[in-house]
Amino acid sequence: MPKISGKCLCGNITFNADTDIKMMANCHCDDCRQATGAAFGTLLFVAEDAVEINGSPKAFKHTADSGAAMQKLFCPDCGSQMFGKNSNRESILSVRAGVVAEKDLVQPGANVYLSSKIPSTPVDPNVKGYDKMPG
């Protein structure tokens, strides 16, 4: 199983996991863009109990348009967005690709929420694309 590790910008929060990556996607939804300040968010979905987090991320809670209760976990010192939780996906943690040290592992298999992407964002035609989140 791949080793995944990383840290926030200031280094106060670090994480380690030895786990399979269940899915990887570029998410172009409004929430990911506003949370990260980036044109889209790239997420790695892993088993939450496989991830050891050192430090104390702060949680911002909000409701997604799906009705799911969302948590965005970030470093309270430097603001790095690191992890996410979704009440519709119990026991799954999403990890933001930008904080992952093993860059070669990051190979998104889908682009989701293309309906709300920034028009100028290039999209790889070889990666599956979805207007919203596929069921």
Q: List contacts with Zn ion (CB under 5 A).
A: 8, 10, 12, 27, 29, 32, 75, 77-78
Degrees to nearest 5, angle at CA 87 with 86 and 93:
40
Residue 34's Cβ-count burial label (10 Å; 0-12, 13-18, 19+) is exposed
CB of 56 to Zn ion, least distance (A): 10
CB of 26 to Zn ion, least distance (A): 9
Taking the least distance from each CB to Zn ion, the nearer of 10 and 69 is 10
Taking the least distance from each CB to Zn ion, the nearer of 19 and 94 is 94
Q: Which of 30, 31, 35 is nearest to 74 (CA)?
A: 35
CB of 8 to Zn ion, least distance (A): 3
Three-state DSSP at 126 gives coil
Taking the least distance from each CB to Zn ion, the nearer of 47 and 64 is 64
